[in-house]
Amino acid sequence: MNDLTHLDSKGRAQMVDVGAKEVSQRIATAEAVISMQPETLAMIAEGKHKKGDVFAVARIAGIQAAKKCSDLIPLCHPLMLSSVNVDLEADSSKSQVNIKATCKLAGQTGVEMEALTAASIAALTIYDMCKAVDRGMTISQVQLLEKSGGKSGRWSRT
């Protein structure tokens, strides 16, 4: 098992020094799922929410969250992301929205946290916009799907 890199030899929190790492193309994709009442999903999918386009707002929130990840999670490096893509798909058979966020950059550290943050905040934004009509929504399956780049190379959940 690898040592925890965010702790120094005395067990104190530290920001990992990535200065000696090689720059490589790094990509990470994460997902989140938000389940809701069928009526709530229909309202979103049909664009009938009085607050506007729920998917558009959630997409922008996810992109903004990825850009602000280092402000939200201690010890994360501020990164110059080259791309953030947030896809939202209504699944009426399961009464849920599937969210996938992909972050990319050429850099010395990975973008897993940025992708996870983007997916999470997109789901939270949907909850916020729809809570007046459905407080029972559930956010689940926040997880990394795959990452590539860096010394550890490619990893995939599938």
| Residues tagged in the binding site annotation for substrate | 75-77, 113-114
CA distances from 106 to 111, 119, 123, 139 (A): 10, 21, 27, 31
- In terms of phi and psi (left: phi > 0; alpha: psi -120 to 50; beta: otherwise), the region of 116 is alpha
Residue pair 76/66 in contact by the 8 Å Cβ criterion: no
Among 17, 91, 128, 134, the one annotated catalytic: 128
Question: Residue holding tokens 């909850």?
Answer: 127
- Determine the Cα–Cα distance for residues 37 and 5; give it in Å rounded to an integer: 42
Asked about 128 being catalytic, the answer comes back as yes
Which residues participate in catalysis according to the annotation?
128
